[in-house]
Chain A
């Protein structure tokens, strides 16, 4: 028996800040003190609070150590594990109380969360199928195979109200029923793990933290629609996810939970992983299937929909990782349980990847209908440096910006669409007053121009022209006529592009034009960037009465644009200045400002 478990986050975030070395150090220290027989080390998936990583939790106390360094490990082992004294100064500040520790689910970050898709992330060792089984893993598959008909399964999903978590929000049960209705000698179940939105990482975290949940759900899908083979399409840039997925599939096969005659039911199902090369368009369903087939990842017109003619020309379903991760729970706990959470038309929870100008960067899972204010101010811990919230971007390059005036919007599929954004896969990028909205729109357009596959003209040429107009505006060369032209072009691309990539690519422009038109006009009419981001529209000047003439800036200016005598106010040669900002970073007296 292990009297204590040390859970170390092995997600991508904590791994890149050194959690592997921390794990090694724990192993060494425990061996040194002869504790390795009584204390177990578990490498888990993402805990969600990435901002505080690397994260280590020690049970049974549930002590949550934040920002752990390898140098701290010795102290934790000597004090906490050997002598039973929690190392308070290393705890996550909020949990360290006078005479006790606050349990993690009582902290502001976790209190309002409801973890279904992420329920095992940061709780189990994803590389050990036994831990998944201990938490009711594969029970849903067992229930489906022994007690339910395929129609029962689809019926439960329909009644649960589960909608696709990849972005578009199509009802999952309905999708499955179409595929079931198609007659064919072979059908396929596919999983979309080609998470491409900049800033979104929930699918990666599910695969890294709880790969078996996806595998189990895909087997259930296979049973429901009558498929015996599945493919998980995951991007090669997710090496940890790919590794754990491969291990998980191997372990499931070994136990007979994948393969022939699963649990003696006569049902066969197997899975393979296919690696994508990271093209954004391959997240689109027809392009993804084309890519699995071994062709160049390009979309094709629909209909026929994949439920009729999909992978290798056979009826197929494609669901997103997060969608699958919900399914075993829905089967076990029932459709009423799931439908009791969320709003009228959006049931259950949604995972968001919080990023940008926010204190608690990380992964959060909240019931549908939670307001943006709750996510940003309460769970996210607000905006750093006392800055003001300006907008939130959801849905990545396909989504839009939600302005501060709509911060009380209850987030669900329909509300987001109504205000010109979309759920997308769940990236939520928070912006403060230092972000220029024109620049944001330009950033996303640059992304879609790069990622457009080029098959259809509206997307290939349209996004490029759109980008050029935005570029012109950020340089102060735009006209009011450009704004109208841009709007027209946006609508044209939306109506005519072949696939989802092009159809949604203008959203960042449209939504910023809708809510931040004044900012566009400032760029066009006053030749001014209110957030002081657009390089061509700002210049750097010295505030004479603040400058002490310390010459620090002159020494750091890479182009020698700053001159002046010692102890006298300096000046910047605007002709030479390349606006790199090195002087502002160096100045200790805030004597250099952007105008």
Chain B
């Protein structure tokens, strides 16, 4: 390393890796249902698809977390996305391809993917 600019570039790169160790109250939260029902319905690949896609796009301020069963086991895998200041959106019957689309449309562009939400599927 031969300059301060190089050091600062390295810092900015490394900062992204430390994200989860900070206060995450201002973050977008992606919560994947990982109870027995969720796991059996394929929640793990969904979770992995989320983390991979978020990393690939270098999104900051996103926390990926898990939760237990919320009681709608027939709709698993269930994923809840909460953007601060907005209402929670519940996606159901998710798969890795749908997860990628949610990242692109909802997390990046702020557009809810209505056809995957519980409201659309129930009808």
Give me the interface of A with B, judged by CB distance under 8 Å: 1-5, 7, 37-38, 59-61, 82-85, 103, 123-124, 130-131, 133-139, 142-143, 145-146, 255-257, 261, 263-264
User: Which of these, A4, A82, A133, A263, contacts B11 with CB under 8 Å?
Assistant: A133
> Which chain B residues (40-68) contact chain A, with CB distance < 8 Å?
47-48, 51-52, 54-55, 63-68
Task: Assess whether A134 is in contact with B11, with CB atoms less than 8 Å apart.
Answer: yes
Task: Assess whether B21 is in contact with A59, with CB atoms less than 8 Å apart.
Answer: yes
14 contacts between A and B (CB under 8 A): A1-B64, A3-B64, A38-B47, A82-B39, A83-B39, A83-B66, A84-B31, A84-B32, A85-B68, A131-B14, A133-B7, A139-B8, A263-B4, A264-B2
Question: Which residues on the B side are within 8 Å of A83 (C-beta)?
Answer: 34-35, 39, 66, 68
Task: Assess whether A84 is in contact with B20, with CB atoms less than 8 Å apart.
Answer: no
Task: Assess whether B20 is in contact with A7, with CB atoms less than 8 Å apart.
Answer: no
The 6 closest A-B pairs by CB, nearest first: A84-B66, A1-B55, A134-B14, A142-B4, A3-B64, A60-B20
> Which chain B residues (1-15) contact chain A, with CB distance < 8 Å?
1-4, 7-8, 10-11, 14-15
Question: Which residues on the B side are within 8 Å of A255 (C-beta)?
Answer: 1
In the bound complex, CA of A59 to CA of B51 (Å): 15
Question: Which residues on the B side are within 8 Å of A123 (C-beta)?
Answer: 21
Task: Assess whether B18 is in contact with A263, with CB atoms less than 8 Å apart.
Answer: no
Q: Is B109 on the interface with A (CB-CB < 8 A)?
A: no
Q: Is the interface of A mostly helix, strand, loop or mixed?
A: loop
Known: A1-B52, A3-B47, A84-B66. A135 touches B4 (CB 8 A): no
Question: Which residues on the B side are within 8 Å of A139 (C-beta)?
Answer: 7-8, 11
Give the Cβ gap from B58 to chain A, nearest Cβ, in Å: 9
Give the Cβ gap from B74 to chain A, nearest Cβ, in Å: 19
In the bound complex, CA of A60 to CA of B22 (Å): 8
In the bound complex, CA of A264 to CA of B4 (Å): 8
Q: Is B97 on the interface with A (CB-CB < 8 A)?
A: no
Task: Assess whether B17 is in contact with A134, with CB atoms less than 8 Å apart.
Answer: yes
In the bound complex, CA of A85 to CA of B35 (Å): 9
Q: Is B105 on the interface with A (CB-CB < 8 A)?
A: no
User: Which of these, B3, B21, B23, contacts A5 with CB under 8 Å?
Assistant: B21
Question: Which residues on the B side are within 8 Å of A134 (C-beta)?
Answer: 11, 14-15, 17-18
Task: Assess whether A133 is in contact with B14, with CB atoms less than 8 Å apart.
Answer: yes
In the bound complex, CA of A143 to CA of B8 (Å): 11
Question: Which residues on the B side are within 8 Å of A103 (C-beta)?
Answer: 23
Task: Assess whether A84 is in contact with B34, with CB atoms less than 8 Å apart.
Answer: yes
Give the Cβ gap from B69 to chain A, nearest Cβ, in Å: 9
In the bound complex, CA of A59 to CA of B3 (Å): 33
Given contacts A130-B17, A133-B11, 6 further A-B contacts (CB under 8 A): A1-B55, A3-B65, A60-B20, A84-B34, A134-B15, A145-B4
CB closest chain-A residue, reference B59: A1
Question: Which residues on the B side are within 8 Å of A124 (C-beta)?
Answer: 18
Question: Which residues on the B side are within 8 Å of A130 (C-beta)?
Answer: 10, 14, 17
Question: Which residues on the B side are within 8 Å of A82 (C-beta)?
Answer: 34, 39, 66
Task: Assess whether B67 is in contact with A84, with CB atoms less than 8 Å apart.
Answer: yes
Give the Cβ gap from A416 to chain B, nearest Cβ, in Å: 36
Question: Which residues on the A side are within 8 Å of B35 (C-beta)?
Answer: 83
Question: Which residues on the B side are within 8 Å of A145 (C-beta)?
Answer: 4
> Which chain B residues (79-115) contact chain A, with CB distance < 8 Å?
none
Question: Which residues on the B side are within 8 Å of A135 (C-beta)?
Answer: 18
Question: Which residues on the A side are within 8 Å of B24 (C-beta)?
Answer: 60
Question: Which residues on the B side are within 8 Å of A61 (C-beta)?
Answer: 65
CB closest chain-B residue, reference A146: B4
In the bound complex, CA of A263 to CA of B7 (Å): 8
In the bound complex, CA of A263 to CA of B117 (Å): 52
Point out which of A143, A145, A256 has the most chain B C-beta atoms below 10 A from its C-beta. A256
